[in-house]
Structure 1
């Protein structure tokens, strides 16, 4: 049983303490351009995103690296031609410069940051980006230099707020000292909780919002990997948690959540997502899907109400030391963006 989205009014909340207001649930756009399944057509992608918007989701997350030749940003740009810009909170990212068969190269020079921002503005067809993330941290460039350039672009009106993705505590502190950071994007779900010990407390101390990606465990708690087979071309086939003996062991964790979901009158995906939502109003998950039914299910999670004790019991049902298989690895990252292995000529990714 799944909680319906038809009667839900999507709340608005503050993301960070700099003034950005977003829908309580965001939408991760990466999957529309492939990775977990075949990419949707432009028409299908726009239909999906419109459905999310009309159901109350206004916070959309993309990146310059998603899809063939910037396909994801171009898709969002087409969408924005048909929806009111001032009703949408748009996040995009830069910093993954090149993906090859044996390594991922990141780039955070001020010049590259600016060229990426200009490129994203053009592809998205907008005058400003609400939230501009450093997608991965270039450890060869002082984070202060990168953020100083982003600060200039805030002053110029090109971006409104600055975010970090996959950053450690030291990087967050140093970046925040140059210009207030509005959001930290990290993987966070029932079975991926490394950020709880240090990063979440630090973000709360500094007034930084938390944006979990893969909040349903890369779909694991949706049950498809348990009850069906993964799509043949899915990158999840390379994820250790979804294969062989590990999957058999992890099924025990799924079964526990499924039993709890029945008690709460919702689906396993909704309970897993509700658990993330109940970590605080400053935690704004961005689940992604290419399926309308799954979208409605995700939205329905906002209606699932849990007590503090129930949140604790659900978390305890998935002990981290019982999760079989590593979270993710660089090989999966490379395959995830397999269509972006070679930067197009004359693109902002090849800028120095």
Structure 2
């Protein structure tokens, strides 16, 4: 495993991170023991970046991570937490809150659930339309001074917001969806981050399983978030699975899996990009770890580009309602 500094002022992180969201029921039921075993296996493999959100499973995900980290050295792990999503008891979403006092409140609860004295990277999960980003970042900066947070990150925001945030406090990374079929970041956002020395933690590298080579139309059960995702519906899904077939041929030629090609492609886009993989089982984790050894030549990259040209995906990456709340999409060209 190679390690890279995240951004100009950030921590040293493994070249891939583990996203823990799927361990808390977002894609249907998950297995607690297998989840903990997967976190342990990832630490054993040298992954030190664990990514979560305080709203994943309504705190369940943070408590699961706390359990998995019992007996481990705190300084060996970089814990990244997103906050601010408001939930109701039925599991619905009711908005976003990144006011300074809310920020400190969410942080206090996360520290308690995780059983830690500080969080390595703390970030609002979205831009709160009612709160200037400078106020939100200012509040997290207070928490950095107080020792409760080590570094500040951002998530799913556009260039203008990134600049405003970075003017208040150093930002170590932007967490944003980036995959062969979600390349919006290339329209200005990536350039802004590079100019400001901000790293990228890329989630959705397998597009929530769509381009993993494992997903089929019968795979979705009740409670699976993807039943509402446009890319998994109607004709879209058939078009998208056809892209996977084209990718399959390239993968077969290299003796690797589609998932490995998809992860390696994201990693190949720059040393400042850390793919965050959402493995929730050890077998999927070891497959993803195999992507580290995949070297893509310029011929490979051209073949991949031909198989899955930019903008080839059918359907938006979130439902329309959610897309409207993504500063990274709305302000992408500013």
> Which residue number in structure 2 is paired with residue 220 of structure 1?
210
Give the one of 133, 142, 165 matched to 2:132: 142
Question: Does 246-255 or 173-182 show the bigger shift?
Answer: 246-255
- Does structure 1 residue 238 correspond to structure 2 residue 238? no
- Does structure 1 residue 38 correspond to structure 2 residue 29? yes
> Which residue number in structure 1 is paired with residue 289 of structure 2?
299
Q: Per the alignment, in what secondary structure is the counterpart of residue 318 of structure 2?
A: coil
Give the one of 162, 177, 195 matched to 1:205: 195
Q: Per the alignment, in what secondary structure is the counterpart of residue 290 of structure 1?
A: coil
- Does structure 1 residue 122 correspond to structure 2 residue 112? yes
In the aligned structure 2, how far is the partner of 1:96 from the partner of 1:236? Answer: 19
Q: Which runs of 5+ in 2 are unaligned?
A: 324-334
Normalised to the residue count of structure 1, the TM-score between the two structures is 0.87
> Which residue number in structure 2 is paired with residue 21 of structure 1?
12
1:56-75 equivalent positions in 2, closer than 5 A:
56-68=46-58, 70-75=59-64
In the aligned structure 1, how far is the partner of 2:14 from the partner of 2:290? Answer: 14
Give the one of 71, 81, 99 matched to 1:92: 81
**Alignment RMSD:** 1.9
- Larger RCO (alpha carbons 8 Å, 6+ apart): 1
Give the one of 250, 274, 284 matched to 2:264: 274
In the aligned structure 1, how far is the partner of 2:259 from the partner of 2:92? Answer: 34
- Contact map agreement 2:176 2:201 (CA 8 A) in 1: yes
- Contact map agreement 2:20 2:280 (CA 8 A) in 1: no
- Does structure 1 residue 76 correspond to structure 2 residue 65? yes
- Contact map agreement 1:238 1:332 (CA 8 A) in 2: no
Q: Which runs of 5+ in 1 are unaligned?
A: 1-9, 334-352
In the aligned structure 2, how far is the partner of 1:204 from the partner of 1:216? Answer: 23
- Contact map agreement 1:241 1:327 (CA 8 A) in 2: yes
Deviation at 1:265, TM superposition (A): 1.3
Normalised to the residue count of structure 2, the TM-score between the two structures is 0.91
In the aligned structure 2, how far is the partner of 1:36 from the partner of 1:202? Answer: 32
CA 1:331–1:301: 2 relative to 1, 3 Å: same
Q: Per the alignment, in what secondary structure is the counterpart of residue 269 of structure 1?
A: helix
In the aligned structure 2, how far is the partner of 1:194 from the partner of 1:56? Answer: 30
